[in-house]
Amino acid sequence: MIQVGIVGGAGYTAGELIRLLINHPNAEINFVFSTSNAGNPISKIHQDLVGSLDLKFTDTVNANVDVLFLCLGHGNSVKFLEANTFSENTKIIDLGNDFRLEADKVFKGKTFVYGLPELQREAIKTANYVANPGCFATAIQLALLPLAEANLLNNDVHVNAVTGATGAGTSLSPTSHYAWRDNNFSYYKPFTHQHLGEINQSVKQLQNGFSSEILFMPNRGNFSRGIFATVYTDFEGTLEEANALYKAFYKDAEFTFVSDDFLHLKQVVNTNKCLIHLHKHNGKLLVTSMIDNLLKGASGQAVQNMNLMFGLEETTGLGLKATYF
C-alpha cells in the first residue's frame, strides 16, 4: 500500500483528496497535517467523512511516507518544504502554484514536472515531484492544446470561464458569503489571472511560435463547484476537421472526451472528467471545456498523477459518476 501524507488538511481540496484516497485500493492515509486542527477528528471538519474515517489531524509529519500531497495556499508549499525534511524516496505532489512555472520548477535540487497528464503523461510517469495544474488552467489548456499542437493558434484567444464558490477556498471573504453569492454573478482579475502563466507556458510547449494574446475573463458563479469555460479563436477549417483534430489528440486520454452534443455543467460535477464540445461560426471555432474544479481541477488530477508516478492504472480510484440529479 502507498503510504500517503497530506499537508493542509482542512481545505476543500484536502477534503476531496481524503475522500478519494480512503476508497483507493492501493493507498493508505498515514497522516493528515493541520496545525490549527491537531488532535481533532478529521470528520469534525470534513463532515461527509463521518463513519468513513477515524483518523485525527496531526501537527507532526512522518518523513518516510511514499507520497506527500501539499494542499496549502499559494506560496506556502515552499515555506513548508523549507521547514520540513522528507526522505529522498518520498514523492511530492504540490496542489499549489509554487512550482508550476519553468522559472520555479527547481527547488533544493528537486525538479518539479508540470502535472497535466494529457500533455505530460510520460514525464509524470518517471517524476518524483509534480506540480499539479490550476483549475482554470486545466480547463483552458485542454480546450487549446490540440490547436497548439497543430500550430493553428495564430490569432488572439478569447476565454470566458465561470467557477463555483469552492474555487475561492474555505477562508471567508466578502465575495464568498452566501448572501453575496446567491442570485449573483461577477468577474474578477480581468485579463490578469495567475493561471495565465502556466496556460501560455503549455501552449508554447506545443506551438513554440505562439505570440498572440490569451484574453481571459474569469467569473464567479452562484453554484458550489465546477468550471464552465468557453474559448474562441479564428479557425479556417471545417467543424468536421476540428472534431477530427480534437478526437485524435485525446484518443488515448483516460478522462478527456470530445462530445458532439452541447454540454452542461452537471455532466462533470463529482467526476475527474473534462468534457469538450466544438462549434463553428463565421470563421471562429468555439470550444466549450468543463471540469469539476475540485477533482479534475485539483484533487482528482492529483490522484491521477499519483497513479502514473507509481505505475498504477491511471484511472484507479477515480471511477466517479457525475452528480447529475
- Return the axis-axis angle of helices 196-206 and 135-149, rounded to nearest 10°: 20
Q: HSE, CB side, 13 Å, CA atoms: give it for residue 67.
A: 27
Does the CA dihedral 50-29-304-94 come out positive or negative? Answer: positive
Q: HSE, CB side, 13 Å, CA atoms: give it for residue 12.
A: 19
Active site residues: 135
Cβ contacts of residue 173 below 8 Å, gap of 6+?
A: none
Residue found under cell 475540485? 294
Please give the Cα distance from 9 to 246 (Å, whole number).
Answer: 37
> 294 with 302: CB under 8 angstroms?
no
What is the per-residue burial (b if ≥16 Cβ within 10 Å, else e) of 184-206? Answer: eeeeeeeeebebbbbbbbbbebb
| Angle, CA of 127, 131 and 132, to the nearest 5° | 115
